[in-house]
Amino acid sequence: MTNALDHHAMLAAAIAEARKGLAEGGIPIGAAIFDEQGTLVGSGHNRRVQNGDPSMHGETDAFRNAGRQRSYRKLTMVTTLAPCWYCSGLIRQFGFPRVIVGESRTFQGGIDWLRSFNIEVIDCESEECVTLLTNYIQKNPAIWHEDIGEA
Amino acid sequence: MTNALDHHAMLAAAIAEARKGLAEGGIPIGAAIFDEQGTLVGSGHNRRVQNGDPSMHGETDAFRNAGRQRSYRKLTMVTTLAPCWYCSGLIRQFGFPRVIVGESRTFQGGIDWLRSFNIEVIDCESEECVTLLTNYIQKNPAIWHEDIGEA
């Protein structure tokens, strides 16, 4: 149905959100939700640092910004980083059929678990996403660990 | 370490949040986070209807209101209803060792999954919680289904 060109175009919206977060002094992880026609439904980025809000990961901020939806069964969640268990749970609970991740090298999260429910997970293996986040983590290891609940 | 009296006292804080949500015209599900000494760290309730915010379940609102925490490894999540996959993912990702649920009859969510990671799940089997939510669902089935991502 979709091709690599589409995936990268959608991923660009999530990367733009990640860069916006970085410019605000936050963790550079972004996400975007698209419908079947490739129309943007909502996008967002991690807000731990800038809003002091631990509940807003890229995916949950995009989910909030998409507003109330009757169904997510034809929507695609796009995120610069493989979703953590919190965000993987969101994807499963609300029935997203497809997730496009920028990368899963820095953090793998729940992508194998999502695949076990026949949720399609496409990994773009984006060097841009890896570089963006690993540069941040090198400078801010404590904030990164806090964001994923590690000691 | 704790007894049924403690569990019910903690649950009362989550129920108070659920009732606050109901009074605002929202889905009556509430949550509260306590530390080892039984001190309230944060509490919240579902905000789908009143804030138009699908990302705020009881647990995620309590998590947000608790603010940034270095660790959740000594905290207890208390919720009037068994956590959905989204909220179960939150509990797993951030390493909560214990969850107290008001009831799991109306909705079971991810409690067995949480138990499989040795997260302690205490079910208070509260009739008050069952009645509060089932009365709401009877009057508002579409909103309830939307809140758990069902058709």
> Which tens digit of pLDDT belongs to each residue from B88-120?
999 999 999 999 999 999 999 999 999 999 999
Report the residue from A48, A93, A150 with minimal CB separation from B86: A93
pLDDT tens profile B68-94: 999 999 999 999 999 999 999 999 999
Model pTM score? 0.97
Kindly state the average pLDDT of the residues A59-79: 97
Distance, in Å, from the CA atom of B126 to the CA atom of B84, rounded to the nearest integer, reads 18
Q: Kindly tell me if the per-residue pLDDT of B146 is higher than 80.
A: yes
Of all residues in chain B, what percent carry a pLDDT higher than 90?
Answer: 96
Q: Kindly tell me if the per-residue pLDDT of A16 is higher than 70.
A: yes
Distance, in Å, from the CA atom of B111 to the CA atom of B120, rounded to the nearest integer, reads 9
What is the band of B1 on the pLDDT scale with cuts at 50, 70, 90?
low
Binding-face residues of B in 85-114 toward A, CB within 8 A? 85-90, 92-95, 110
Distance, in Å, from the CA atom of B70 to the CA atom of B89, rounded to the nearest integer, reads 18
Helix axes B85-93, A85-93, angle to 10 degrees: 170
Interchain proximity B54–A69, CB inside 8 Å: yes
DSSP state of B45: E
Report the residue from B53, B67, B90 with minimal CB separation from A86: B90
- Minimum distance, in Å, between the CA of residue A10 and any CA atom of chain B: 22
Residue B2 pLDDT: 66
Distance, in Å, from the CA atom of B58 to the CA atom of B147, rounded to the nearest integer, reads 11
User: Best residue in A49, A93, A116 to probe B by mutation, most B CBs within 10 Å?
Assistant: A93
Residue B19 pLDDT: 98
Residues of A in contact with B72 (CB under 8 A): 149
Distance, in Å, from the CA atom of A120 to the CA atom of B33, rounded to the nearest integer, reads 34
Which one is predicted more confidently, B41 or B3? B41
Give the chain B residue nearest A59 (alpha carbons): B55
Interchain proximity B63–A73, CB inside 8 Å: no
8 Å CB contact between A79 and A57: no
Sheet with A120-123, strands from edge to edge, namely: A40-45, A30-34, A76-79, A98-101, A120-123
Structure tokens given for A32: 């975007």
Q: Is A99 helix (H, G, I), strand (E, B) or coil?
A: strand
* Host H or E run for residue A62: helix A58-65
Binding-face residues of B in 15-74 toward A, CB within 8 A? 48, 52-56, 60-61, 63-64, 66-73
Residues of A in contact with B149 (CB under 8 A): 71-72, 93-95
Interchain proximity A70–B146, CB inside 8 Å: yes
Q: Kindly tell me if the per-residue pLDDT of B4 is higher than 90.
A: no
Residue B94 pLDDT: 98
Q: Is A31 helix (H, G, I), strand (E, B) or coil?
A: strand
Residue B104 pLDDT: 98
What is the band of A1 on the pLDDT scale with cuts at 50, 70, 90?
low
Distance, in Å, from the CA atom of B141 to the CA atom of A146, rounded to the nearest integer, reads 38
What is the band of B3 on the pLDDT scale with cuts at 50, 70, 90?
confident
C-alpha closest to that of A8 among A76, A102, A99, A87: A102
8 Å CB contact between B8 and B101: no
Of all residues in chain A, what percent carry a pLDDT higher than 70?
Answer: 98
User: What single-letter amino acid sits at A23?
Assistant: A
Interchain proximity B93–A85, CB inside 8 Å: yes
What is the band of A2 on the pLDDT scale with cuts at 50, 70, 90?
low
Which one is predicted more confidently, B1 or B40? B40
* Host H or E run for residue B9: helix B4-23
Active site residues of A: 59
Interchain proximity A146–B88, CB inside 8 Å: no
